[in-house]
Chains A and B, each alone.
Chain A
């Protein structure tokens, strides 16, 4: 029996696969790769598999992690190649290995947030957005698990943010707190819409780039 971790990309069409559907997709992918997952021992046994930090539907990622247990003893070598022969478009396994660190040590998330302005980036948008995200307090409405709205101050959850202007687009490179509580980078848009409504972008794309630990080292 071995505990293993997959590092994978999720992008393009696969960005729309929901968390539960992704678990099912991996279970089937493991099965067709000939990997036997270890099952829980209860009355209704279920395979032991968990996604470390679920990715919101619609976002892309270069650094997703899924932990699972297989019945065989193995160090994960060869599994990535095997799985990549048959995955849905937009899913790509980068590595499979025995995890060295528990998921709890994942503390920060580095993401690219692209703000699209179809009619061109408004004048002065870049300095004004920089000012916005430098404020000591940035109260934004967030949907809670009970589906109602709650005010959260996202400023302390943003560890760093850099922005640059591109044609019809502002590119933000943001590092946010990942867990307990974490910040969904998509909320940057909500913050803009709330505090600088005239700078609300026409469309926002989020892509996770790296997970980091508390010290800023890559977590994988």
Chain B
């Protein structure tokens, strides 16, 4: 072990995050390696190791001969300080080597609040921030992940962006980079060639011009780069890689269990949900294969908990059958099955009985809005009856806690909708009184609200976020309307959601702001301990930009969005149609009921396998 690291570790919290050496971590003989990849997650080890995408791509890359993909996470503040004091550059967990001269530095970026951590990690690695300062082929700094559907705030910093599912395009990129190094290409030549790969966006090959009012005038590709870059997907889930042999961290992480991915995409079409649009179309993994992977993963890792994961797991066509197929193994090996969250309209006794056989604590439902009108606006397509019926099933089955998630500030929301949340909670309470199997244990109903953040590539991408004052007013309104002590009300504090709204729909001018905020100390802004809105407001001020322009402005239908060179496969025309239907409070049926013509079907040759 590195001598400096050995001296630092006794002084930092949770040192096992920084040592590597976990079961199933991939160690390769450096002599046979010609491509070293630093796979960076711009958040802590506990968060990054909980990410399934990270585990999939780690496996995919390490399957390639000559390629050694190594993990890198953001150090917590105490560790960062120690590393800087000891002049110790950011290192990879597998080899312990500094990532400064790795061939490729790849970031997986799932949320906008991680942007400052990207800069901080580059700085800790001693890698120049700006893409244009890195003139050689290595290190090539690339990024992917859901937050990269609008990569513009990072346009100055990353060399290229990989859009969509990375299993195939990552391999193509690595091979292209290998060829470029072998044949001594210039970085420019490599980037121009990379831009020809489907799903690869090279920010430096696009010129962006602005109108006097600050909106984007045009985005013009150069050097043969495509005008529109469409995300990549894996067509056949049965042929896609699943990490059966996956790393078992030696210290507790957030999702410390086997994550079994049943399908990608979502049939629902909730209008606020970015994941629901950008992961389209739905592609199921067949039931037997799911069962096989789940069992193999538990057997190999020794995990005794498995979560059946997808955007909306209860929509998996054969979910109860899958649970039954897994049942014998799970019972024999003491493996608990869990689901991440449930839809209130298809939660059944049959499903409940197959889950949580031992401990029954709480269930989580996300009605998102308090009245049917507003649920129709957002196309949640869950009714009050659905929710109460599901709660009744749960209470009768012995559950005594329900968590309900809502958003405040959804487009068209009125005070009546806000008060509807309190009303719904009271009805859930009433349902418990009528149906609970054991009233002596009492009931806990938790209502949580967050501040709605409009996201790019959704039907609400044109919408303003409500102001902080208005959000606070609605919180207070709801707070006063919730009268019973059985209902606990939690609200997400607002400042991080405001910044998220700015960054989510930002243009590439925000690169300056990002850099300025980093210089003022922004790093792990996904963590309240480190987040400071003042720092960001100062940075906006210094750069002469208005944060409200990004967060609180209504966009016109024909405005050129900063991310309009990027396509998730869902057409802009469809998103606008959904936007119009939202304001008419008209619902759109799910993809299984009928095809609504979003455009994503063209990604799989015309017909989705819903």
Contact = CB atoms under 8 A, between A and B. Distances in A.
B21 A31 contact: no
Given A58-B9, A88-B250, A18 B21 contact: no
Contacts of A14: 21, 250
Given A17-B16, A21-B16, A203-B7, A87 B23 contact: yes
A13 B248 contact: no
Contacts of A24: 252
A160 interface: no
A16 B299 contact: no
A39 interface: yes
A86 B301 CA distance: 9
Interface in B1-55: 1, 6-7, 9-10, 14-16, 18-25
Interface residues of B, number: 31
Nearest to B22: A88
B9 A27 contact: no
A86 B251 contact: no
A195 interface: no
B335 to A, nearest CB: 9
B21 A27 contact: no
B300 interface: yes
A75 B302 CA distance: 22
B333 interface: yes
Contact of B15 (A16, A22, A39): A16
A88 B23 contact: yes
A32 B248 CA distance: 11
Interface in B332-370: 333-334, 358-359
Given A44-B359, A58-B10, A89-B21, A31 B252 contact: no
Interface string B105-120: 0000000000000000
B149 to A, nearest CB: 36
B16 A16 contact: yes
B302 A21 contact: no
Contacts of B304: 27-28, 31
A58 B301 contact: no
Nearest to B18: A16
B303 interface: yes
A22 B251 CA distance: 8
A217 interface: no
Contacts of B20: 13, 89
Contact of A28 (B9, B21, B248, B359): B248
A90 B21 contact: yes
Contacts of A39: 334
Interface string B264-300: 0000000000000000000000000000000000111
A8 interface: no
B23 A12 contact: no
Contact of A13 (B1, B10, B298): B1
A133 interface: no
A1 to B, nearest CB: 16
A13 B19 contact: yes
A86 B25 CA distance: 11
A68 interface: no
Contacts of A17: 16, 250-251
B358 A32 contact: no
A31 B252 CA distance: 17
A124 B252 CA distance: 46
B58 to A, nearest CB: 17
A184 interface: no
Contacts of A48: none
A58 B359 contact: no
Contacts of A44: 358-359
A57 B11 CA distance: 11
* Nearest 4 interchain pairs by C-beta: A28-B302, A89-B21, A13-B21, A31-B302
Given A88-B248, A203-B7, 17 more contacts: A13-B16, A13-B250, A16-B9, A16-B19, A21-B250, A21-B252, A28-B303, A28-B304, A29-B302, A33-B302, A45-B358, A57-B10, A58-B10, A58-B15, A87-B23, A88-B22, A89-B25
Interface of B: 1, 6-7, 9-10, 14-16, 18-25, 248, 250-252, 298-304, 333-334, 358-359
10 contacts: A13-B1, A25-B250, A28-B23, A28-B248, A32-B302, A87-B23, A88-B21, A88-B248, A89-B20, A90-B21
